Structure 1
């Protein structure tokens, strides 16, 4: 059983990060809109169930997610929460269209405010982003600040943006700094070249895609950089791999769909929901400190949390390896021992 309130220390920062956190992209109208009330209800239920780590970003709903976090945490003592947000984009009226946030002409974020994201990895831009996020979330500080999606901005991210973050850390204005992305090459370079405490890796260390083990996770081990894993369901395919499901937020290819179905078949053989294996798998890696859940409804949240208590036999992981569906060097969770709860 995975205890959402169990914590792991992030490097030598003194910050302890809960093993399970709540990601808020879906609560910022990612793929489909939800109401302020429904978003607040999800966060409130998560807090009530023991979640104490919240991750957000200006991009998520163009400020909606951060504002909805603010409404949900009002009245909760700040020291009871770990909150991370991201930098590298400022929200501005008249922002140019960012094609990376569209698929087939449709935006990923629906019914959002008119101010859109503008890239800015300058020192002033980073500091301004933090100040604006502090106002939107309604807190006096963040515990973690992450460079957000600097795929095409490595030079600035590793120099001016990193300088701003490292100064904020040195001044005690933030406890840990890092970067968050869903690709590994630039993230590996940032871990190599910068003194990062933690990274958020989305979708690249899952049951379906363990490419994070090629270079990134070994680099994190060498640099003692902690890893938060997001996107454990690869945007849905590791819950229900049926035609039309998505992988990396776009329709899954036939090859990916077939691989997910093979994983599902082995899980079914052991009477284990594939989604449970997907949630629990990343936490076995010694460098992974936390997994983010990303529910958009109370039902999804309850389902996600229920997956944490599913006992998974070691034979399931062995079968996945034998079928070539899991890397032989990927650490796997130990089975629950009788009476250990």
Structure 2
């Protein structure tokens, strides 16, 4: 499925990838510090290889990811890019005090108020050096009821005013996302880690609800935080040590991929795109080499027989 017209670059470019986005959490120093030059090289590589969709958030590095992305795309025709960022959290310094608009800090705290949404967006625009956001998500709200009362109406106002082109919600939990699909008016929802080779629980209620309501899906967390990138070297599932059962399933899937001559990470990143309503996947990268591998995976030939063989391997059931 291709990117919805309302979320495509205003000036399309031939040869650009329409279903792959660069996740910019890693260049915000996620897990490991990243030098400024390496962050620039990562974004430059994405642009060179046809990626035009960039996903960031104030939470990633407490503003660092947005700031670095903004610097890297400075001078690039804005109409050729699609930028997604998020609201619902406030950047604070080491003492827990809110930083000034456009600044970076030490951490973030939840803020689901209308004013919080507007302040967050103002800061994001400053860090990114842009005058608009193409896709604005509510970022993993803890209290759905509070979010529906305060933050969500603010997103709808921003969409109606044309400040943002599309609005949505990004979460790792299926049930709250399904509530937003059924009770609010998102254009898209981002589901992280629940539509993967190991965890397909988004297929149970979220995807059917999205189809019914005409809401598009963007998939993230396709490696389940490491295990589907390299089961032995990074045996982590949802940021915790993976169980022996999960490692066994992942290595079985990897063996199937190896038998067809296709890399496991490439298959993991392509899997969500086989599902109706999924218009893109977002994959994080911290180096230009990882970007090149991501693009190679987008072009890899994956035979139907490989998918059938993987479907025969049990997946995990996640309790909501």
TM-score between the two structures when normalised by the length of structure 1: 0.85
Which stretches in structure 2 are left out of the alignment for 5+ residues? 10-17, 98-102
Are the aligned partners of 1:181 and 1:200 in contact in 2 as well (CA < 8 Å)? yes
Aligned position for 1:50: 50
State whether structure 2 residue 133 is matched by structure 1 residue 138: no
- Aligned equivalents of 1:161 and 1:20: distance in 2? 28
Tell me which moved more, 260-269 or 129-138: 260-269
Are the aligned partners of 2:270 and 2:298 in contact in 1 as well (CA < 8 Å)? yes
Are the aligned partners of 2:166 and 2:187 in contact in 1 as well (CA < 8 Å)? yes
- Aligned equivalents of 1:82 and 1:157: distance in 2? 25
- Aligned equivalents of 1:298 and 1:175: distance in 2? 29
Q: Map Cα deviations across residues 230-255 of structure 1 (whole Å, 9 max, x no partner).
A: 11111221121116521112221211
2:7 to 12, 15, 30: 15
Aligned position for 2:77: 77
Q: Map Cα deviations across residues 28-87 of structure 1 (whole Å, 9 max, x no partner).
A: 111111111101110011011111011100000010000001110000111110001000
What SS is found at the alignment partner of 1:31?
A: coil
- Aligned equivalents of 1:240 and 1:290: distance in 2? 22
Are the aligned partners of 2:66 and 2:128 in contact in 1 as well (CA < 8 Å)? yes
Aligned position for 2:116: 125
- Aligned equivalents of 1:166 and 1:113: distance in 2? 27
Matched residues, number:
303
Q: Map Cα deviations across residues 101-155 of structure 1 (whole Å, 9 max, x no partner).
A: xxxxxxxxxxx964421211111110111001111111001011100011x2211
Q: Report 1:151-300 matches (<5 A).
A: 152-242=142-232, 245-300=235-290
State whether structure 2 residue 297 is matched by structure 1 residue 307: yes
Are the aligned partners of 2:140 and 2:171 in contact in 1 as well (CA < 8 Å)? yes
Tell me which moved more, 237-246 or 272-281: 237-246
The structural deviation recorded for 1:326 is 9.6
What SS is found at the alignment partner of 1:187?
A: helix
Distance 1:41 1:53, change over 3 A: same
Which stretches in structure 1 are left out of the alignment for 5+ residues? 1-5, 97-111, 328-341
- Aligned equivalents of 2:25 and 2:313: distance in 1? 34
Aligned position for 1:95: 96
- Aligned equivalents of 1:165 and 1:78: distance in 2? 22
Aligned position for 2:311: 321
Aligned position for 1:104: none
Are the aligned partners of 1:244 and 1:252 in contact in 2 as well (CA < 8 Å)? no
User: CA RMSD of the aligned region, Å?
Assistant: 1.9
- Aligned equivalents of 2:62 and 2:196: distance in 1? 27
